[in-house]
Amino acid sequence: MESITDTIWDVVICGTGLQQSLLALALSRSKKNILHIDPNLYYGGAEAALSLAEVDEWAAARPDATSTRIEAPAGSASGPVLGRLSAYSIALAPQVLHARSALVNLLVSSRAFRQLEFLAVSSFFVFDSSSLVRIPATREDVFATTAMPARSKRQLMKFLKFVLAFEGDAEETDEASGRGAAPWKEHASQPFGDYLASTFGLDDRLRDNILALTLSLDGASITVAEGLARLHRHITSMGVFGAGFAAVYPKWGGCGEIVQVACRAAAVGGATYMLGSGIRSVKFPDDKTDKGDEQGQLVEVELTQDMTVKTKLLVRGSDDVDTAETPSTMAQEKPEQQQLSRLVAIVGSPLPFLFAPTVEGAPVAGGAVIALPAGRPVLAAAAAPEHPIFVMAHSSDTGECPPGQSVLHFTTLKTENSKAVLDQALDSILSTLGHETRNHSSSTASGDSNDINDSKDSKDSGDPAPVPCLYKLYYEQPRGEGDTPASTISTARPEFRFSPPSVDLTMQDAPLDVVREAWRQVVGPDGADDAAYMVFEDREEGLADDDEFE
C-alpha cells in the first residue's frame, strides 16, 4: 500500500457510478496514473447490480428501503420458492439502451461491447382495464393489431410519419428551402400530452400508447421537444440490431454490468482500484502557491483507510463532500432533488407472453415494458395513480434470476403515498399476469397465436390465482439530471464534479457529454483529440482476461 501514497496520481476518481466508470474507460489507454476509489464495497453506485444478500444489507442501512421475503401460506400447495441468494442480480436503476444512443456508440467504438451481452427489449404494453395491450412496434404491427380501430390506425400512422421527419436541432429558418421553423417549434416547451390532443386529435388511448414509448416519468407533462426527441430515437432505433425491437438491455445487471466492464478495461490499462475507501478530507493547493511549484499544486486527499494520496486532479460526484469544506468553500449549494419511488418484485413465473417475438425473425426478448398511465383507474377500487408507473420486466435470460422466475421493476415519481400506490400496482399487475399466464397456456395448447391481445375470452371461466410474488424490495432514489444539458458543479480548484447521476428509465445522452468534459480536463488540451475519444483498437489476446480484475 506504500506505493499508493508515494505515487503522484494524474487523477483520483471517487465513485464507480456509470459516469465515473466511463471516464475510467476513456482513460484506459492514456497511460495516466489513475486511482479509482469507492466508499462502497461494490461497483456501480446508484446503478449497481447486487445479489439478494447484498440487497438485504444495502436496504437495512437505508431509512427509505425495506426488503421482504414472501412465504407461501401454511398448508398451501407446493409452488415456486426463492432460490439461492447468489442466483439473483438486482439492478438498482435498470435502464434500456436504444440502438441509436450515444452510450451504445461509445461501447462499440471503445470495443467494450465485446465483453457485454445484450438482450432485446421488444414489447411495450399499456395496462388497460385489468389487461395488457401491446403497443404496435412497426407499420405492419399497426395495421395487423385487433386492439385499435381503423380510424385510430390512420391517426397513429400520420403521427409516426411526423415523428420520423422530426429534427430536434433544426434551425429557425431553412435557408435552402426558404421554409420557416418546424411547426412544433412554437410549442416546444408546452406539455406533450396537450399537443398530441390539440394538434393531432389523438384520443386518450392513443396518447397513452405514445407517452408510454417516451419512457418518461413525467407522462403527459413532458415537453413537446423532449417527447418528440425520445420518440424519434425509439422509432429510428427500430430494426437496427434486428427485427422487432428498438432497445436492448445488458445481461447480468444492466448498467451495473457496463460499469464492471469499464472498470475492468481501466484496470487492464493500469488503473488502481480500491473499494471500501472513500474521502475523509481534501486539502487543495493554496492560491498563493507558486505555479511553478509542481508539488505545491497537488491535491492531498485523505482516504478513509487512513492514508493520504496526492493527485493533480480530483474527480468526484456532487454528494462526495469532505469534512474540510464549509458553506463558503462549497462550489455551489445543492438544490433539492426530485425523488423516485421504486419497487422490485421477484415473481414465480417465467411470463413467456411478455417476451415472445413480436414479428417474424425477431428474437425472444429479455425485457419488456408495461406502462400504467397517470389518471387512469388502473389500481384497486378504480383508483388512479397521480404519475405514470412503469414496470420493467426482466426474464431469467438476463441472468438476474433463476429459470422459471422473472423480475419486475416498478418506478414512479415519489409522492406522499407513492409506496402504497406501487404496492397496489403490484397487486393489479400480478392479478392480470395470472390471467395472461392462463390465456397463454390455453392458446399454446390449442396452437393458436400467442399474441397477448388475441386471447381474452378465458377470463370468464373463473379467476386464476395471481402470479406469486417471492420477494419484494422498496426504496427511493434521487432522480438525477439526465434530461438537462451537460453540466458540472463549477469550481476553480483542481477538481471536477459530476452532477447527480441520472436514473432515468432509458439512458440519455446528456450525462455522457459530461464524461467527455471530465476526460478533456484529465488529458489536458494537448491530449484532447475529440476524434480519438473512446475510439480504441481491440487489445491483444490475453490482455483483457477477466481474472486480472477482481
Q: What is the DSSP string of 449-473?
A: ---GGG--GGGGG-PPPPPPEEEEE
DSSP tag of 407:
E
- Which alpha helices (DSSP H) does 302-379 contain, by range? 352-355
Please report the pLDDT score of residue 486 as a whole number. Answer: 43
**Fold category of 2-48+255-324+485-530 in CATH:** FAD/NAD(P)-binding domain (3.50.50)
* Among the ranges given (40-44, 69-73, 350-354, 522-526), the one the predictor scored with the smallest mean pLDDT: 69-73
Quick one: average pLDDT of 45-56? 97
Asked if residue 473 lies in contact with residue 294, where contact means CB atoms within 8 angstroms, the answer is no
CA pair distance 97, 512, nearest whole angstrom: 13
pLDDT, tens digit (0-9, with 9 covering 90-100), for 313-349: 999 987 665 545 544 444 455 567 899 999 999 999 9
**Starting at the edge strand that comes first in sequence, how are the strands of the sheet with 314-317 ordered?**
272-275, 34-38, 11-14, 314-317, 495-498, 488-489
Asked if residue 393 lies in contact with residue 125, where contact means CB atoms within 8 angstroms, the answer is no
* Among the ranges given (209-223, 284-298, 431-445), the one the predictor scored with the smallest mean pLDDT: 284-298
Please report the pLDDT score of residue 449 as a whole number. Answer: 53
Quick one: average pLDDT of 488-511? 84
Quick one: average pLDDT of 418-435? 96
What SS3 class is residue 139?
helix
Delimit the CATH 3.30.519 region(s) of the chain.
119-138+246-250+338-477
Looking at the predicted structure, is the pLDDT value of residue 366 above 90? Answer: yes
pLDDT, tens digit (0-9, with 9 covering 90-100), for 76-96: 667 899 999 999 999 999 999
CA pair distance 155, 152, nearest whole angstrom: 5
Q: Which residue has the higher pLDDT, 321 or 455?
A: 321
Please report the pLDDT score of residue 306 as a whole number. Answer: 93
Q: Which residue has the higher pLDDT, 492 or 510?
A: 510
Find, among 370, 419, 413, 420, the residue nearest to 391 by Cα: 370
pLDDT bracket for residue 546 (50, 70, 90): very low
Please report the pLDDT score of residue 62 as a whole number. Answer: 96
CA pair distance 359, 374, nearest whole angstrom: 29
CA pair distance 382, 295, nearest whole angstrom: 67
pLDDT bracket for residue 548 (50, 70, 90): very low
Asked if residue 51 lies in contact with residue 91, where contact means CB atoms within 8 angstroms, the answer is no
Looking at the predicted structure, is the pLDDT value of residue 412 above 50? Answer: yes
Instruction: Name the phi and psi angles at 359, rounded to 5.
Output: -140, 165
Cα 497–502–505 angle (5° rounding)?
Answer: 165
Asked if residue 509 lies in contact with residue 230, where contact means CB atoms within 8 angstroms, the answer is no
Q: Which residue has the higher pLDDT, 152 or 489?
A: 152
Delimit the CATH 3.50.50.60 region(s) of the chain.
2-48+255-324+485-530
Quick one: average pLDDT of 162-183? 62
Quick one: average pLDDT of 363-377? 96
CA pair distance 202, 366, nearest whole angstrom: 31
CA pair distance 356, 352, nearest whole angstrom: 6
Please report the pLDDT score of residue 485 as a whole number. Answer: 44
Mean pLDDT score of the chain: 87
Asked if residue 305 lies in contact with residue 287, where contact means CB atoms within 8 angstroms, the answer is no
Quick one: average pLDDT of 445-457? 54
Q: Give how far the C-alpha of residue 462 lies from the chain's centroid of Cα atoms, to the nearest Å.
A: 38
CATH code reported for the domain at 119-138+246-250+338-477: 3.30.519
Delimit the CATH 1.10.405.10 region(s) of the chain.
140-170+180-237
Percent of the chain with pLDDT over 70: 84
Q: Whats the size of the chain, residue-wise?
A: 550
pLDDT bracket for residue 144 (50, 70, 90): confident
Looking at the predicted structure, is the pLDDT value of residue 483 above 60? Answer: no
The sign one gets for the Cα dihedral 202, 206, 210, 211 is: positive
pLDDT bracket for residue 289 (50, 70, 90): low
For the chain, the distance separating the N- and C-terminal CA atoms, rounded to the nearest angstrom, is 17
Contacts of 541 (CB under 8 A, 6+ apart): none
Cα 252–253–255 angle (5° rounding)?
Answer: 125
pTM of the model: 0.90
CA distances 122 to 216, 359, 414, 418, Å, are 17, 10, 28, 28
Superfamily designation of domain 140-170+180-237: Guanine Nucleotide Dissociation Inhibitor, domain 1 (1.10.405.10)
pLDDT bracket for residue 398 (50, 70, 90): very high
Q: Which residue has the higher pLDDT, 201 or 455?
A: 201
Please report the pLDDT score of residue 321 as a whole number. Answer: 57
Quick one: average pLDDT of 517-530? 91
pLDDT, tens digit (0-9, with 9 covering 90-100), for 461-473: 567 889 999 999 9
The percent of the chain in helix, strand and coil, each rounded to the nearest 5, is 35, 20, 45
pLDDT bracket for residue 251 (50, 70, 90): very high
Looking at the predicted structure, is the pLDDT value of residue 116 above 80? Answer: yes
